[in-house]
Amino acid sequence: MEKLFSDSEVMLNERLTKITEQQEKEYLEEVAQEIIDNNWSNSPIEKIIKDLSNISWTLNSGYKIAKELEGYSSKARYNIKTDFIEFLDDFNSNKDDIVRENVKDWVQAFNPKPKFKTGQKLIVETPLFRGHNQGKKGDVVYVTGKNEKEANYYIHENKDHNGGYVLAYEKVENNCKIYNDENEN
């Protein structure tokens, strides 16, 4: 059986937040081969992989990724068509799927237990988000649900909200505390 993580990437009791180097290498090779197989490029696979490795995680549309690949810094040449753009629409979300699977493996290995219960009222001590109006210091939020398979809470300002912001157990537990009457003073 092939190991999910190499010995240099042994799982620590810490959430995995990115794909491993080996997973990224295999993913980029798979995507590059599909690009070649669909005649979206006839450049060498190594050049396509190099281009794909430079795609920003912040690019969330196939059109933007295609424009990036078409750019002057591109090592390979591409036949930009609608179906190629549609294929690229899933490029970063497929990487995210790999991370989610890693998190599920981590949860299975370490079985983290949530400290807060659904419905629990919390006060934010340290901001939960950067540059965001919600989740600021002093805000009151509620645990509106949990996803135990990925060790996430759903947090929202409205206690009756179905769902909410998805945050890792440790993010909420390290930045919030249980709200009690003393917090009002």
pLDDT tens readout for residues 57-85: 788 899 999 999 988 678 999 999 999 99
The average confidence (pLDDT) of the chain is 89
Average pLDDT over residues 19-45: 96
Residue found by looking up tokens 């919030």 in the block: 176
- Residue 31 sits at the vertex; the CA angle it makes with 38 and 11, to the nearest 5 degrees, is 165
Domain boundaries, the chain: 13-110, 121-184
pLDDT at 16: 77
pLDDT tens track for 115-163: 999 999 999 999 998 877 788 999 999 999 999 999 999 999 999 999 9
Contact 122, 167 (CB under 8 A): no
Question: Could you tell me the pLDDT band of residue 17, with boundaries at 50, 70 and 90?
Answer: confident
Question: Could you tell me the pLDDT band of residue 182, with boundaries at 50, 70 and 90?
Answer: low
Question: Could you tell me the pLDDT band of residue 7, with boundaries at 50, 70 and 90?
Answer: very low
Question: Could you tell me the pLDDT band of residue 46, with boundaries at 50, 70 and 90?
Answer: very high
Strand partners, 120: none
Picking from 179, 138, 175, the residue whose alpha carbon sits closest to that of residue 159 is: 179
pLDDT at 8: 41
